[in-house]
Copies of this chain bind each other. A is one copy, B any other.
Amino acid sequence: MRLWELATGKPAGVLKGHEGSALDVAFSSDGKQLASAGYDRTVRLWDVATLATVAVLPGDEGYRVAYSADGRLIASCSHNRHVRLWDARTYDELAILPHGNRVHGLAFSPDGTRLATACGDNTIRLWNIASRQEVCELRGHEAYVHAVAFSPDGTRLASASGDFTVRIWDTVPPSVRARPPDAPVPPRD
């Protein structure tokens, strides 16, 4: 990782770490920490001011990484059927959230209570952050789900899919499940 000063056009510092392509980056809400997800199966955390490596979080081949709005949680999705959840301060791995197929996208709800994941098995999973349990599985798409996004107030979730449709889901109340959360979902690709 390098800090380049545009005022001079020269790098002010070089930090290295990933041993594979870096695919995504995200700043914490206070701007002090940066997370990067790599093909080297790590998520790395960096101190933006000192450029020091803060933590190397072993995981999966990183594809997307995101902080919760309060900056306390980090989630990463990969093509290895796992979504991992870490504490951004203690660097503890809080959960490995299983999926039936590769996970293309993820989004924290604005209030930080939910994580939505876009899965290659045509589903969207909604996870309860506190309990680390699946709240519900949103079924309906007829092809992979590539991206998800919460509305700013968190009451809606939008999903984009290979079935040519975009869907909007009402996330309040998230009390009714399309199927039991413990029922397995067969891979579809």
Contacts and interface: CB of A to CB of B under 8 A. Distances in A.
Interface of A: 1-9, 11-12, 15-27, 29-31, 34, 36-38, 40, 44, 46, 48, 51, 136, 138, 140, 143, 146-153, 155-156, 158-178
Q: How many copies does the complex hold?
A: 2
B167 A3 contact: yes
B165 A16 contact: yes
B20 A164 contact: yes
B165 A9 contact: no
Nearest to A165: B1
Nearest to A146: B23
A172 to B, nearest CB: 8
Contacts of A148: 25
Nearest to A124: B4
